[in-house]
């Protein structure tokens, strides 16, 4: 390392890299969908949920990969999300908008030829007045959010949809509150029984409609919950819906989050790093500085509470996560060698790996909050098992 007399050492610039990148393997999404379809029984269809920008992976790219893997439906939460899919050329695949829609959003969803969810006779009347469309009636069997809790009212809504001009009753649905809790108190079974009884009664009157209820957890947990279609989100991205090891269920994480070691600096006993001096060195050491922070979605709750992979080894994140930077304790070993090295925050390196599930456990949250939380400042790249498919998407 060259030095100038009376100055700081002259350091070679790091190779040109982005400060943070999320690399998404669309082949993994495709394989996850293919693998999930092996669990389906009775001809049930796979609906890939690509809301929230594909759980942070990119909605359009994830949707295309899911279709290549055998998904025959897509689902989103908003009208804007279905418009994005249509504008990207995904015009022929049916899309279900699962969220609540204002009148303006309802018009946008209709213009995008999307199915929508209703749970009151007023919803049906508004849709008919707007020109009609395909609807799925939602029974709130216990989630306590959208939908009617009253099966009799849900049946009246279904009847209204069958009678309204221009309106087609396409499906009936519910959503489970505890499917991901394998030790729940029987509430999942209660919801399943309540929905099954009502839905089958409606289907007797409209044999061609779709019955659907299962998310990723319910689909993997209970074959009886699969009905005519399952709505899988987290699992298609290779994350475990039960928050455990995705590999144990033959799921392949699709996203890798990386940064690099932008600086290495000495930290002697008593010296600190980061806001609030939440890390104070108890021994002489070296710190690596990585240009990633909560402005990128790497949460402040990971302060003194995460590991980073550099050169295939784990190093602890120390100090407070700031908006744009974190620090890791790299010790004395080969401290200068790690400067400019890639650092993996989610993914594999050497024989080590850090999963979204691990990060979620440290934050006492769920794996897909981690990926959904990656901000627009993080560019996404798309590849198929290492072969680049698209240039950077994002800043």
List active site positions.
51, 275
Within this chain, do residues 305 and 238 fall inside the same structural domain, yes or no?
no
Q: What is the pLDDT of residue 197?
A: 96
Within this chain, do residues 46 and 153 fall inside the same structural domain, yes or no?
yes
Residue 311: count other Cβ atoms within 10 Å of its Cβ. Answer: 17
Within this chain, do residues 199 and 337 fall inside the same structural domain, yes or no?
no
Q: Is residue 282 in a domain?
A: yes
Give the confidence band of 345 by pLDDT, cuts at 50, 70, 90: very high
Number of domains in the chain: 2
Domain limit, last residue, from 190, 216, 245: 245
Domain limit, last residue, from 194, 214, 245: 245
Q: Is residue 5 in a domain?
A: no
Within this chain, do residues 180 and 329 fall inside the same structural domain, yes or no?
no
Within this chain, do residues 45 and 150 fall inside the same structural domain, yes or no?
yes
Q: Residue 16 above 70 pLDDT?
A: no
Q: What is the pLDDT of residues 108-152, one digit of tens each?
A: 999 999 999 999 999 999 999 999 999 999 999 999 999 999 999
Q: What is the pLDDT of residues 281-335, one digit of tens each?
A: 999 999 999 999 999 999 999 999 999 999 999 999 999 999 999 999 999 866 6
Residue written as token pair 């989050």: 257
pTM of the model: 0.94
Domain limit, last residue, from 214, 245, 276: 245
Give me the CATH number covering residue 318.
Answer: 2.40.37.10
Domain membership of residue 268 as a residue range:
255-354
Q: Is residue 376 in a domain?
A: no
Residue 149: count other Cβ atoms within 10 Å of its Cβ. Answer: 14
Residue written as token pair 């710190």: 287
Nearest in space to 50 (alpha carbons), one of 87, 91, 98: 98
Q: Is residue 35 in a domain?
A: yes
Q: Is residue 73 in a domain?
A: yes
- The per-residue DSSP string of 135-180 comes to EEEEB-SSS-SSSBS-HHHHHHHHHHHHHSTTEEEEEEE---SSTT
Give me the CATH number covering residue 92.
Answer: 3.20.20.10
Give the confidence band of 336 by pLDDT, cuts at 50, 70, 90: confident
Q: What is the pLDDT of residues 48-87, one digit of tens each?
A: 999 999 999 999 999 999 999 999 999 999 999 999 999 9
Q: What is the pLDDT of residue 8?
A: 43
């Amino acid at each position: 390392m060259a030095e100038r007399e009376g100055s700081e050492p002259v350091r070679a610039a790091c190779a040109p890299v982005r400060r943070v990148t999320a690399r998404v393997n669309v082949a993994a999404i495709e394989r996850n969908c293919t693998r999930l379809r092996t669990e389906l029984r009775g001809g049930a269809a796979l609906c890939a949920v690509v809301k929230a920008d594909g759980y942070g992976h990119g909605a359009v790219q994830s949707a295309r990969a899911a279709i290549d893997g055998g998904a025959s439906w897509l689902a989103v939460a908003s009208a804007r999300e279905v418009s994005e899919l249509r504008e990207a050329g995904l015009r022929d695949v049916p899309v279900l908008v699962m969220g609540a829609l204002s009148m303006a959003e309802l018009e946008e969803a209709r213009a995008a030829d999307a199915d929508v969810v209703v749970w009151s006779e007023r919803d049906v009347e508004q849709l008919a007045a707007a020109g009609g469309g395909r609807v799925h009636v939602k029974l709130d069997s216990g989630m306590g959010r959208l939908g009617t809790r009253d099966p009799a009212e849900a049946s009246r809504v279904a009847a209204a949809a069958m009678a309204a001009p221009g309106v087609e009753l396409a499906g009936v649905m519910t959503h489970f509150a505890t499917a991901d809790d394998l030790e729940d108190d029987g509430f999942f079974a209660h919801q399943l029984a309540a929905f099954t009884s009502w839905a089958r009664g409606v289907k007797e009157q409209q044999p061609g409609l779709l019955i659907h209820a299962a998310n990723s957890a319910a689909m993997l947990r209970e074959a009886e919950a699969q009905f005519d279609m399952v709505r899988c989100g987290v699992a298609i991205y290779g994350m475990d819906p039960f928050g455990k090891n995705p590999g144990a269920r033959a799921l392949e994480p699709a996203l890798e989050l990386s940064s690099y070691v932008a600086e290495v600096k000495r930290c002697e006993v008593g010296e600190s790093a980061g806001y609030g001096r939440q890390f104070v060195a108890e021994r002489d050491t070296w710190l690596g500085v990585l240009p990633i922070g909560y402005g990128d979605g790497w949460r402040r709750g990971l302060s003194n509470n995460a590991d980073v992979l550099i050169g295939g080894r784990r190093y602890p994140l120390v100090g407070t996560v700031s908006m744009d930077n974190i620090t890791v304790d790299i010790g004395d070993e080969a401290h200068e060698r790690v400067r400019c090295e890639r650092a993996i925050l989610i993914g594999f390196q050497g024989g080590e790996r850090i999963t979204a599930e691990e990060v979620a456990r440290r934050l006492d949250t769920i794996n897909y909050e981690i990926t959904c939380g990656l901000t627009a400042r993080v560019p996404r790249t798309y590849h198929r098992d290492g072969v680049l498919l698209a240039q950077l998407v994002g800043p």
